[in-house]
Amino acid sequence: MTLFTNSPIAVAGHDIPAGAYTLFVIPSQKEWALVISKSTDTSGRYDEKDDFLRVAMDFGQLDRAEDQFSIFFAHVAPGQCSMRLDLEKARAWVIFEKR
């Protein structure tokens, strides 16, 4: 997934300058990580040397399993949105804030 921002934002409290980035998610049984990469290679290849930021995502269980992996954004407060990722009964999320 590619992220374009024309103004500074914060992700999980970490400042991100305006620019283009590639987002990767590293899932596990109990914790997921969001990786923001300086690379804008859209091939899907991940190279740890391009990491700009890696943050642990909040994590929880859904009441019922989702049929498909889904990503969506939800407005949660003025200047804030939550990126939510659902896979089966797992939900991981992280807050994006306008700076």
pLDDT greater at residue 30 or residue 95 = 95
pLDDT band at 31 (very low <50, low <70, confident <90, very high): confident
How many angstroms separate the Cα of 24 from the Cα of each of 36, 45, 51, 52, 99? Answer: 7, 10, 10, 11, 22
Q: Is the pTM of this model over 0.95?
A: no
Domain span holding position 9: 2-98
Beta-carbon contacts of 13 under 8 Å, excluding residues fewer than 6 positions away, are: none
Amino acid sitting at position 67:
D
pLDDT the model gives residue 44: 83
Q: What is the pLDDT of residues 51-90, one digit of tens each?
A: 999 999 999 999 999 889 999 999 999 999 999 999 999 9
